[in-house]
Every structure is written in C-alpha cells, then in structure tokens.
Amino acid sequence: MKKIIRLTESDLQKIIEAVIQEQTQTKYNFNAPVITQTKDTFSSSGGIMTKQKQQQDIARTESMYGCVPEKLLPFVLYLMANLSKIEKILGLDKANVLYLTKYALGIIGRESKYGEYNKNSDSASETMRSVGLGFLPDTIIGVKNLFNKKKQSQSLGYAQFTPETWKTYGLDKSIGDYDFSFNSISQGLGALYRLAADYKLALKLGLQQAPSVNPTVKKYLGDGDNIKGTGNNALDFAIIAHNMGNDKIKKYCTTSHELYAAPCNLSKYSPFQTESSFNEYKKTGHFINSPSIPENLKKFPGMLKVNQGSPIPNYFPNLKGAGHTAFGYVNDVEENSKKFNCF
C-alpha cells in the first residue's frame, strides 16, 4: 500500500533551504566557518549553541554590521571571515576588496532591493532549480524562445544573474553550480567577483579612475541631468556592465555629429538603425527634444564618421536599458553604496 505524504509550504521551504545550505557548504573551497541563513540557528563558529548564546551572537553581529540588510548579512560575514583568501582569488588588497564589496551590495540593492523584490516566476524557477529540477524552467524558456524567435534567459537571485552569465564569468567553478546559487553568500560573491573582473577590464582598456563626464548632456541639459556616478570612470563602466554587459566597456571618441559620441574602436557609427527607429526615439527621447538643442541637430543622423584620434577623456554614455538609463543605474548604485560604512 502506497503511503501519501503531504507537504505544507513551510515543509517545502525547509527542504529547499536545507538543499541550498548543503550546496553552500560543499561548493566553496575556502574552509570557512559555517554561517547559516536563519536567525534561529545562526552561528559564526559552526558549533552547537544555546538559545541564549544564539541571541547574544545575533545582537553582537547586528551591532557590528548594522548597515547591512538582514538578508545580505550572511554574505558580509562570510566575506569578513575569508577576507585574506578572497583577496588572493581577486588579486586585490583588503582596501580594494572592501571598496568593491560596497558597490557589489549597491548593485544587489538596485537589482532586487536587497532580495526584497522577487517576481513569482523568479521564485518558482529558483525553487525548481534548487531541488534539481532546473530542466523545467530551461524547457519553458526554450519553448518561448522558439516561438518568439529570440534568445532570452531568466535573471534570478539577489544579483539577478542569468545561467549564461554565471558560467561566462567562471562563477560555476569559483563559487558553485548556478542552480544552487540563490542564497546571499553565492549571490554576493557572484556580484563581487563579476564587478572585480569588469573593473580590471575597464582599467586594462585604459579607462581612468577619475569622475565620469558627458560634455554633450552637460552642454545642452545642464548638470542636473548629468551623471553623478562614483567619481571613478572605470568603476562606473564596471557597474553598468552588470546590467548591460561588459561589451559596453569602451573608450569613446567624438564623431562627425556634435550630439553623438561613439566607441573609439569603430571607424563608422550609426546611432539609429533606421530613420523610423530615430523617429520612434524622438517620441520619448528627453534629450533630443530639449529646446536647447538647435533644430538642425534634431534630424536623423545617419552613418557618422568616428574621430578615432579624438577620445573624450572619462566619457560615460547615457545608454538605454529596460526602463532605465546608464546614468540612472550608476547613480542609484552609488547612492546605495554610501549606506555601507560599517565594515
């Protein structure tokens, strides 16, 4: 006679958390003390604790790291317990690791409001992946792509990684399997490791650690619409790469049109594919519709010549994202990072 086992939502959640915790402990090779994700069993030493000792440990930790959102606290504790090893992994000193950590947390704040914002579809996919059923969301997405004729993927977790990006940055090897990465330690490390990689790329390409500028926006719209940023052009590009891809990390040069700059590696550049796409942009484009821009500059620009010998120092483009701009994204991350002054 078969026995029917009924699981409540709470039971399922406990099973999922147990799987995630097991993966977190076995995937990292840092020999770190176990840091659990729930306050009931919180222990920074890995030993058995009395309830009173647990409460004392919680109070002490919250006092030390009061600036860190509760859901991200396991990541920060893990980082601090393994700081010297993470320095070696990233090839950075302590000061730079902590510097980038504040911005990695800022990115997580921008992407998911520190884990507080999560779509139902995200939760369902994370749950399926965490219990070994990752093929189900992959199949659903594959079918959608087949009908839409698009190659799309699903961004999941605190830092909103896609499985492709997780693998591209080697996070499957340095952190662990994507399907078991939906906890604050994995996602926090992922955001940090990716930011460090993109920051190094920006510096390698010759971008400077000086405030970002956009002379065209400043000239026609004023300082109020210009980028505030981090005060570090290379870091601004590394931050926006998390949302828009690291192919956007480039030096920019002037072009044959006063309003448009272009990547210096191009000889020709077309800001818009067609005149109709330009006209669609004009319907919603705040910048192009500004009364301070002369009418003769508001026409379809066509194909432009890139002045490869005229780079614009510390230029940062106001690229368009899904419902946001590069300026807005970086400015939000910078504001978020200012909160993390307790470590």
pLDDT tens-digit readout, 212-221: 999 999 999 9
Quickly state the pLDDT bin for 12 (edges 50, 70, 90).
Answer: very low
Residue pair 304/260 in contact (Cβ under 8 Å)? The answer is yes
235/61: higher pLDDT: 235
Q: Which residues lie below 8 Å from residue 244, measured CB to CB, with a gap of 6+?
A: 319, 321, 326
pLDDT higher than threshold 90 for residue 297? yes
Residue 16 is inside which H or E element, if any?
helix 9-27
How high does pLDDT run on average in the chain?
A: 82
Radius of gyration of the chain (CA): 23
Amino acid (one-letter) located at 161? F
Between 5 and 97, name the one with better pLDDT: 97
- Alpha-carbon distance 214 to 308, whole Å? 17
Both tokens assigned to 139: 């199949």
Judge contact between 34 and 25, C-beta under 8 A: yes
Which amino acid type is present at position 260?
Y
pLDDT, residue 25, reads 39
Average pLDDT over residues 307-332: 93
pLDDT at 125: 74
Confirm if 270 and 303 have CB atoms less than 8 A apart: yes
Identify the band that residue 64 occupies on the pLDDT scale cut at 50, 70 and 90: confident
Q: For position 191, what pLDDT does the model report?
A: 98
Position 20 confidence tier, pLDDT thresholds 50, 70, 90: very low
**End-to-end Cα, the chain, rounded Å:** 58
DSSP strands (E only) in the chain? 252-255, 261-263, 268-269, 304-311
Which 8-state DSSP code applies to residue 210? S
Q: What burial letters (b/e) apply to 85-106, b meaning 16+ CB within 10 Å?
A: ebbeebebeeeebbbbbbbbbb
- Find which of 42-51, 117-126, 289-298 is predicted with most confidence, using mean pLDDT: 289-298
* Model confidence, pTM: 0.78
Q: What percentage of residues in the chain have a pLDDT greater than 70?
A: 73
pLDDT at site 46? 41
The per-residue pLDDT for 55 is 57
Confidence check: pLDDT of 264 > 70: yes
Which amino acid type is present at position 96? N
215 neighbors 312 (Cβ within 8 angstroms)? yes
Average pLDDT over residues 268-273: 95
**Helix, strand or coil for residue 315?**
strand
The pair of three-digit structure tokens given for residue 110, joined into one six-digit string: 């921008």
Q: Across-strand partners of 161?
A: 156
Q: Which residues pair with 304 in a beta bridge?
A: 269
Query: pLDDT confidence of 309, banded at 50, 70, 90?
Result: very high
Write down the pLDDT at residue 311: 97
